[in-house]
Amino acid sequence: MLQASREVYSSLRRRFKGDLLRPGESGFEEARAIWNGMVARVPGLIARCADVGDVQNAVRAASEAGILTAVRCGGHSLAGFSTCDGGLVIDLSRMRQVTVDPEARRARFSGGCLLGSIDTATQKAGLVFPSGVVSHTGAAGLVLGGGTGWLTRQFGLSCDNVEGFTVVTADGSVVRADAQENPDLFWALRGGGGNFGVVTAFEVKLHPLTSVVLAEGLSPEAGIRPLLELWRDFMADAPIELKWNIDLRLAPHTEQVPVELRGQPVAASWLIWTGDMDDAQQYFRPALSLCDPESVRRRTLPFLELQTMADAAFPHGRRYYTKSGYFPSLGDSTIDRLVDAVSTIPSSETQIELAYLGGVAGRIGATETAFGDRSAPFIMNLLANWPEASDDSAHISWVRGLFNQLRPAMKPGVYVNFMSGDEQDRVPEAYHERWDRMVAVKSHYDPDNFFLLNQNISPGKTTAKNS
């Protein structure tokens, strides 16, 4: 691999406009780090591209040298797919241009953008692109996998709002994918992750929105079961303007948390209302009725504040491990297991995240995009988050143990962006009835599986497993 990275370096050296970083050189150490501190790899070369031409040259040189290649936007892959040992990283962090057309309510952004750069640019025109909840997340990885966030119920998944992609494919050509041109690739890129090429530009729809109403509150341990029962029934008929997420966790030791709840198992409710401000209360009141009144807070929030309020809770460099799944319904025995699990949580930042999909995202048919089946509205993400390597096994085994207990009640399927690096066997499950079509598109655009470091679809294998 060392020889291959030398070959790529000498091939790119004279024509590359961006930066080529090798181990030992200034800037390499910072450039090699990704968000998940569990994944500390040392690539042989980081090619930080300045433009589409650099991406094409890097793909061609890597393909000729036969070097293992990772593609990086924001580096937030929980699985650590945006780095590798000894190979090449195609780093898009210099490609962060965003242009907004306020009249057409459209934007075009480059393949290295973080969510925050898009939000800042679109808000200048009073518009939003529906994306995720942490502004330092990369847009490319998030959108290509699907993209859920506060606005998913009202405006759909991020990938549902993409109208066109510009892609550098495995042979180094630049290809457009939209509803008319290369429609199969357009279909596959909306949920299929990094399997098909390096996306250098996204063209997306925007929606008018500048502020939301946020309500939050904590339910004590004894109130978790009734809260989950209320949430389950309430969300089935809730309007699309309401998003209600619940985190099961140990309450933080902060001033805002009532003293008797600090460090105790709680359910933290986060409600976002995007409709008419006067209508918020009629939904917030019943939803917050099971929270400790002292913990309840409501306020109107500028959109940019909403999009950054969780940033500090997920810092770069900590250790993270996750497992995720969908429930078609939240049965009493699943609720029992979730309630029991909160008291066994191994650390203060670890949490069970629960979201209810439905709304506009849930109305799109299972075969319309590669993201697929949106019919199971309850999404659960077990997210362990801790600082020290010595605590790895306690956290990983807690996540795995709880996941195995809950698994029988889940619907087959998983959101690829919430998968860990040890779950390749679940990729066919993620795409189940869409698997053969995904394989066909992969086989056409990347027959040698050059784009391997992702929730990978091997070209040429068409038998669905685990579906």
Ligand X SMILES: Cc1cc2nc3c(=O)[nH]c(=O)nc-3n(C[C@H](O)[C@H](O)[C@H](O)COP(=O)(O)OP(=O)(O)OC[C@H]3O[C@@H](n4cnc5c(N)ncnc54)[C@H](O)[C@@H]3O)c2cc1C
At closest approach, how far in Å is the CB of 277 from ligand X? 24
Closest CA to 283 of 247, 329, 235: 235
CA distance 132 to 456: 22
Candidate residues 78, 201, 330, 384; the one interacting with ligand X per rule CB under 6 A: 78
CB closer to ligand X out of 144 and 224 = 144
At closest approach, how far in Å is the CB of 331 from ligand X? 25
18 interacts with ligand X by CB under 6 A: no
76 interacts with ligand X by CB under 6 A: yes
Site for ligand X in 105-134 (CB under 6 A): 111, 132-134
55 interacts with ligand X by CB under 6 A: no
At closest approach, how far in Å is the CB of 223 from ligand X? 26
> N- to C-terminal Cα distance for the chain?
36
Site for ligand X in 151-210 (CB under 6 A): 193-194, 198-199
User: Which of the ranges 65-73, 209-217, 278-286, 363-371 carries the binding residues for ligand X, by CB under 6 A?
Assistant: 65-73
User: Which of the ranges 140-148, 353-361, 372-380, 384-392 carries the binding residues for ligand X, by CB under 6 A?
Assistant: 140-148
At closest approach, how far in Å is the CB of 20 from ligand X? 19
For residue 433, give Cα distances in angstroms to 194, 195, 208: 20, 18, 35
Q: How many residues contact ligand X, by CB under 6 A?
A: 36
Candidate residues 92, 224, 228, 357; the one interacting with ligand X per rule CB under 6 A: 92
Closest CA to 84 of 190, 8, 165: 8
Site for ligand X in 443-462 (CB under 6 A): 453-454
81 interacts with ligand X by CB under 6 A: yes
CB closer to ligand X out of 46 and 335 = 46
The answer to whether the CB of 275 falls within 8 A of the CB of 239 is yes
CB closer to ligand X out of 133 and 290 = 133
Candidate residues 32, 48, 72, 374; the one interacting with ligand X per rule CB under 6 A: 72
The answer to whether the CB of 146 falls within 8 A of the CB of 371 is yes
Residues 6+ apart with CB under 8 A from 299: 213, 214
CA distance 57 to 19: 13
Candidate residues 75, 87, 217, 325; the one interacting with ligand X per rule CB under 6 A: 75
Rounded to the nearest 5 percent, the helix, strand and coil shares of the chain are 35, 25, 40
Residue written as token pair 């709840």:
261
At closest approach, how far in Å is the CB of 339 from ligand X? 25
CA distance 117 to 197: 23
The one-letter code for the residue type at 118 is: I
- Strands 378-386 and 319-327, how do they pair? antiparallel
At closest approach, how far in Å is the CB of 371 from ligand X? 10
140 interacts with ligand X by CB under 6 A: yes
CA distance 161 to 147: 10
**Continuous segment of H or E residues that includes residue 301:** strand 297-302
DSSP 200-254: EEEEEE-EE--EEEEEEEEEEHHHHHHHHHHHHHHHHT--TTEEEEEEEEEPP-S
402 interacts with ligand X by CB under 6 A: no
74 interacts with ligand X by CB under 6 A: yes
At closest approach, how far in Å is the CB of 131 from ligand X? 7
At closest approach, how far in Å is the CB of 66 from ligand X? 18
Tell me the two tokens of residue 111.
């393949």
Q: Which residues bind ligand X (CB under 6 A)?
A: 35, 70-78, 81-82, 92, 111, 132-134, 137-138, 140-142, 144-149, 193-194, 198-199, 314, 417, 453-454
